[in-house]
Amino acid sequence: MSHRFGLRVYYEDTDLAGIVYYANYLKFIERARSEWVRALGVDQVALKADHGIVFAVRRVEADYLSPARFDDLLEVDTSLQALSGARIALCQEVLRGTDRLFTAAVTLVCLTEKGAPVRIPADIRRVLSAAVETSRR
């Protein structure tokens, strides 16, 4: 199951050439990941308050394929690729219509508030496992 998050490119997102500054794609995919987790019914504030754990980006492998420009309407597609005890592997793409502008392979890890790795809680794993199964159908 993939999740789509829409956004518009604002002037503040662009550089002097009028194209989206490369680091802003990371902001776009971060927002999309937050909305993906929310759409799955996972409350990250409660996860931190109740379990003392957070999700953090461990690795991003990014490809910049084509520039986005001021006022473009974009969509970020997020799909779960793999799930292990403490890691979540995602594929994220930034699209303008059917044109792929940016792709990223993102690895998230589950950490305690002190930064130590910890297993993803069973209830969250069930939700994420269902998302993996849905995406394979």
pLDDT digits (tens, 9 = 90+) for 70-96: 999 999 999 999 999 999 999 999 999
**Which residue range is the domain that position 71 belongs to?**
2-136
Percent residues over pLDDT 70 in the chain: 95
Residues 61, 30, 136: CA angle, nearest 5 degrees: 70
Looking at the 3D structure of the chain, how many domains does it have?
Answer: 1
pLDDT of residue 24 exceeding 80, the answer is: yes
The pLDDT, as a whole number, for residue 59 is 98
CATH of the domain at 7: 3.10.129.10
Measured between alpha carbons, how far is 50 from 62 in angstroms, rounded to an integer? 33
Annotated catalytic residues are: 15
Beta strands in the chain (DSSP E): 2-8, 53-64, 73-83, 87-96, 99-112
| pTM attached to this predicted model | 0.91
